Structure 1
Amino acid sequence: MSAQIDPTQAPDAPAESVASALADAAFVRVVCRADGDALAAGGLLARALRRTSVPFHVRAGSFVSMPDAPDDDGVLLAVGTDVPNADATVAPDDGATSRRAYEVAAALTPAGESGPDPVLALAGIVAAGEHPGAMDGGLLSVAEETGAVERRPGIAAPVADLADGLAHTTLAHASFSGDREAVTAVLADLDLPAEPDDAAHRTLASLVALDVAGDDDATVRAAESVERALKPYATPDAPFTTLGGYADVLDAVARERPGTGVALALGHETRVPALEAWRDHAAAAHRTLSEGHTGRYEGVHVVRATDAVATHPGRLATVARLARDFRSPEPMALVIGDGVAALAAVEHGAARAASAVADEFGGVDEGAWSGDARRAVVRYDADAPEAEIIAAVREAST
């Protein structure tokens, strides 16, 4: 019989209550939503469990199945999503899951041992679309005071190689995104020094900002959204060179190769395979945004996914976010694949629309969805007419 601690089942349960339930567990199964924020949160909690000598298992997925309740004194912990039978949930209605997980991990850490990693928590917060200093800013202050992060000009990328970073970041969509050869040609024209100084980093940031905002297909939101990719926080002791780059890799690997993402969040040496997943993910997402057929409907901007993305929920989700932030003149972006779609809303409506599509077109066993008010993915009968899917999204999101 699973340990049932009612106060911990609320998404905003007190950190101490959740930590107490985890510390007393014989085994903890951690189920994370497949995104960078939830992955970082799951990593923070699992690392704390390791320090507490509580055995655990972590998995992540776009569509969380309905696991059986753990036996004996085991605890099922849902992170970033609601899971039936969960004994505890870390998925706040407002704000990043990583911030809440950091609080739980701090409460769980034994006295005298080092606390949870603030850089991993901050990377999760950035992956959630928030500024690292959002809310009370305490985490960012701690990281700055210890030298774990330092603000500098330039572009937020996970690698020092400028061409690699510019081609594969998913924090922005520029004319050269996804095309390393095009980026290399652009950099050659800039004639930057081999070791970029602050002036070179500023030149690079200006190039990206102007390219994004000056694109004929860019929306007003594009000029605001590109700010996520500028003026990064350097992270000298982290696996990746900047906080935004760390967040970008976490989100990409969570959606592209969740198993590798879990290993990364747990602190294992997976930098190389994580970067490979990041490059593959970015190249496919940018290509679909550039080449996919689009349509504009009242309230919804539709992108038809390319073959490399059409059956991949994680890639679809990234395309939807990029479309919302850089291409959609409407408040909702919908990316349609083959029996799978992703939604990204400027303010709200994504979860409601995904739920409506799953209910109406899911068939007997195929319907499922996961997400929140701003981002969601949905699985449905691949034979469902596209026009009816679009109509259902329009109706549910308005």
Structure 2
Amino acid sequence: MSTDGRSASDSTTASALESASFVRLVTKADGDGLAASGLVARALAARGTPFQVTVGRTVATRTERAQATTGGDGDLTLVVGSTDATNATRLDTDDRPATLAAVDHVRDLGETPDLVLALAGLVAAGVEPGAGESEWLIETARERGLVERRPGVAIPTADPVDGLAHSTRVSAPWSGDVDATHETLSDAIGADLEAETDRADDADASGTTLEHTDHRALGSVVALDAVSAEAATAAAAESIQRVLKPYATPDAPFETVGGYADVLEATAQTEPGTGAALAMGHDAREPALAVWREYGRRAHNALEAASTGRYDGLFVVGIDDGPVEAVAALSTAFRSPEPLVLAVGAGEAALATREGTLPPLEGVARDLESVLEGTGDATDQGVTYDVTASGRRGYLQYDPAVDETTIIETVREYQ
């Protein structure tokens, strides 16, 4: 087993997991965190160890939940993601995807990790399958027939219209609009878009299956539309490459690894209970897809209606309603002329960057709270934050009364 990147405390964590009589998993609210908790939960279930999974959106929330747990000897509280809890064991580290740590611990327990779930978690964490420590994962999955590289686009459904219209890994003129996506594919590919589909009973499905579509032609249309969109920036050409030539997953709940990652991200941020059930291997495919569709629709609609502002090195996207993290990610990948994006909503904001790492969000949160106290606008809610292991995506949560200008000025001080 590769041990690259493993910390000195890993053996302690593995030992605690092996001897635990009950495990409370408190995980961060992203696809990497869901995948990691799901991998560990499946291993615990296989060993007959009782467990509970909860999701915390911020460091403060995870800390509160971890510290609130009580139990007898043999109980273990395991946290996925940053935490300030002193009575809990941390599964991962700040500079490595939680999914990789989970895979290591599952193997330490003598169990076999779900390779497709692990690969989806890594994609959600921004890791290309096969890169670095993940090389053995993709090679083993290929050898076992669990994944296969093919032309096309990384979407979760067999219906390309459904998959592309709601994907938050692609931004094109038709994104978020099923009818517009259907018309584009019909005109450009000339495929049989009225074929039977296993999602035919879903009101949002178009009735298209990839079996009746030329994957190569589909990828070409998506790539051309993404890079030639009026609002597209030079970054779009590189970003779209990450969703082309996907790893198909013939026996997994979703059609591709990248599509699986998209669903994990959507459920983690909007309906974490559904996402956790999915990651644990329960029959949650259809509810998860319903969450993903709504998440994608809202993200693209919010991006289209957003106000924008450009500063030196910072692009600000103001939205009235929608998932700020998806809007920040889409803007960074396809629309922002600056490397750092700040998406601001009501009571929450997200940051994403193409280059380097984010400004230190702990400092941003602390300074923002100080500003609010100085103006008399501080509330009991406070300011909380979270950041991914890659350091390229982050989240802030605060009182909705805080104005956008205050958020922007505080973030700019740390650029």
Pair in the same fold by TM > 0.5: yes
Tell me the alpha carbon deviations over residues 258-292 of structure 1, each in whole angstroms, 9 at most, x when there is no partner. Answer: 00001001100000000000000000011111111
1:343 matched to 2:351? The reply is yes
Aligned to 1:54: 49
One-letter code aligned to 2:29: A
Q: CA deviation at 1:233?
A: 0.7
Note if contact 1:343-1:354 (Cα within 8 Å) is conserved in structure 2. no
Aligned pairs for 1:165-314 (under 5 A) are 165-189=163-187, 190-193=189-192, 196=210, 200-307=214-321, 309=322
One-letter code aligned to 1:225: S
Structure 2 CA distance for aligned equivalents of residues 79 and 252 of structure 1: 18
One-letter code aligned to 1:72: G
Q: CA deviation at 1:96?
A: 2.0
Tell me the alpha carbon deviations over residues 43-86 of structure 1, each in whole angstroms, 9 at most, x when there is no partner. Answer: 00111111222211001131224132533222111113324135
Question: How has the CA–CA distance of structure 1 residues 226 and 358 changed in structure 2, closer, same or farther, with 3 Å as cutoff?
Answer: farther
Q: 264-273 or 326-335, which moves further after superposition?
A: 326-335
Question: How has the CA–CA distance of structure 1 residues 383 and 287 changed in structure 2, closer, same or farther, with 3 Å as cutoff?
Answer: same
One-letter code aligned to 1:159: T
Tell me the alpha carbon deviations over residues 225-251 of structure 1, each in whole angstroms, 9 at most, x when there is no partner. Answer: 111211011101100111111111111
One-letter code aligned to 1:237: D
Note if contact 2:359-2:411 (Cα within 8 Å) is conserved in structure 1. no
Structure 2 CA distance for aligned equivalents of residues 229 and 86 of structure 1: 40
- Return 5+ residue gaps in structure 1 as ranges: 1-9, 310-314
Structure 2 CA distance for aligned equivalents of residues 306 and 364 of structure 1: 22
Q: CA deviation at 1:349?
A: 4.6
Aligned length: 378
Pick from 378, 392, 396: which aligns with 2:410? 392
Structure 2 CA distance for aligned equivalents of residues 159 and 199 of structure 1: 13
Note if contact 2:6-2:101 (Cα within 8 Å) is conserved in structure 1. no
Structure 2 CA distance for aligned equivalents of residues 237 and 86 of structure 1: 40
1:377 matched to 2:410? The reply is no
Pick from 100, 125, 133: which aligns with 2:122? 125
Identity in percent: 45
Q: 212-221 or 228-237, which moves further after superposition?
A: 212-221
Note if contact 1:354-1:378 (Cα within 8 Å) is conserved in structure 2. no
Q: 365-374 or 27-36, which moves further after superposition?
A: 365-374
SS of 1:51's equivalent in the other structure is helix
One-letter code aligned to 2:387: G
Structure 2 CA distance for aligned equivalents of residues 92 and 324 of structure 1: 25
Aligned to 2:206: none
SS of 2:413's equivalent in the other structure is helix
Structure 1 CA distance for aligned equivalents of residues 325 and 307 of structure 2: 17
Aligned pairs for 1:134-149 (under 5 A) are 134-136=131-133, 137-149=135-147
Structure 2 CA distance for aligned equivalents of residues 260 and 131 of structure 1: 25
SS of 1:222's equivalent in the other structure is helix
One-letter code aligned to 1:231: K
Structure 2 CA distance for aligned equivalents of residues 199 and 273 of structure 1: 26
Q: CA deviation at 1:357?
A: 3.5
Q: CA deviation at 1:91?
A: 2.6
Aligned to 1:365: 380
Tell me the alpha carbon deviations over residues 90-125 of structure 1, each in whole angstroms, 9 at most, x when there is no partner. Answer: 23333321111111111113xxxx511111101100
Q: CA deviation at 1:365?
A: 2.6
Structure 1 CA distance for aligned equivalents of residues 145 and 9 of structure 2: 30
Note if contact 2:164-2:170 (Cα within 8 Å) is conserved in structure 1. no
1:329 matched to 2:337? The reply is yes
Q: CA deviation at 1:197?
A: 6.3
SS of 1:216's equivalent in the other structure is coil
Structure 1 CA distance for aligned equivalents of residues 22 and 34 of structure 2: 19
